[in-house]
Amino acid sequence: MAETAVRVRGLRKAYKDHVAVNGLDLDIRRGEIFGILGPNGAGKSTTVEILEGHRSRDGGEVEVLGEDPGRASRQWKSWIGIVWQNEVVSGELTVAETVRHYAQYFPDPRDLEEILHVVGLTEKAGARVTGLSGGQRRRVDVAVGVIGRPELLFLDEPTTGFDPAARRQFWDLIRSLADDGTTIVLTSHYLDEVEALADRLAVVVGGKVVAEGDPATLGGRASAQATVSWLAPEGPREYRTDTPTGVINDLAAHFRGEIPELTVSRPSLEDIYLGLIKEQETAA
């Protein structure tokens, strides 16, 4: 089995005069959670739809689980799971009836009781979907998305509208699926979500990948200057430096002990992300 789940080279897609994807390259390894970030209109949704086999491309090479999504077999489609941004499950069926219905579309579906346990809906098996909370309905969407034992799962803005507690519970669910060997492609506008879940990520701007790596080192984040902040007698002070330890030692000597309101920080993922977008917009 190849180590690469997704391989993209020179992907292009245009809508009349608008170029949505402009020579995009991408590699996603099997078994990892891969995040795709980008502003609205950057081309990330079009890219993911091409990977899913739901949209044609104008040019480039695309291989997903060893096949071209544009000419993929029926068997290939059973290897793919998708959780759409908007809820797709509705109606008056119970949770168990709904998941059992979708299971019929796959040659080797997972056990119903097993999957309800995985998504935390065992106690809601007999409840009607229409009576569930938003977070619970989202779990039904995930159950439908993974009932066919997908090797690759696409998650599109999976926690939109969730409260903080529900989001953390959902993160645990995604991690458990990844631990079980599922490759996951995650698109989200929540940078804390991507940072918490993704092994690696790509930032897409202007139809191209402008940065790729793990969240801790993306865009030189790990080696970026630190900001040392403290409260001086004349007011708040801060200093950017490559050697924060030295600055702290000097401050400790100056204050002869504890440094008031001392903080040391490096750029957040949001800082790096916004900087990449601004850099690309300036270059354009």
Sign of CA dihedral 254, 258, 263, 266: positive
Of 52, 55, 46, residue with least CA distance to 22: 46
Residue 97 within any structural domain of the chain: no
Half-sphere exposure of 126 (CA within 13 A, CB side): 1
Q: Which residues of the chain have pLDDT under 50?
A: none
Within a domain: residue 49? Answer: no
Residue 25 lies in a domain: no
Asked whether residue 226 is assigned to any structural domain, the reply reads yes
pTM: 0.83
Residue 186, domain member (yes or no): no
d(CA 131, CA 147): 22
**Quick one: pLDDT at residue 90?**
67
Return the pLDDT at 225.
Answer: 84
pLDDT of residue 40: 86
Q: At what angle do helices 134-146 and 164-179 cross, to 10 degrees?
A: 10
Q: Is residue 259 part of a domain?
A: yes
- Three-class SS state of 54: coil
Dihedral sign for Cα 66, 179, 27, 194, please: positive
Check residue 163 and give its pLDDT.
78
Answer yes or no: is 275 within a domain: yes
The helix/strand count (H/E) of the chain reads as: 9, 12
What is the rounded (10 degree) CA torsion for 92, 94, 98, 99? 160
pLDDT of residue 214: 93
Residues 6+ apart with CB under 8 A from 208: 22, 23, 24, 43
Q: Quick one: CA dihedral 215, 217, 220, 223, positive or negative?
A: positive
Q: Which residue has the tokens 């902040």?
A: 229
Considering its fold, how many domains does the chain have in total? 1
pLDDT at 86: 67
Task: Name the residue range of residue 225's domain.
Answer: 221-283
| Helix 95-103 with 134-146: angle, nearest 10 deg | 20
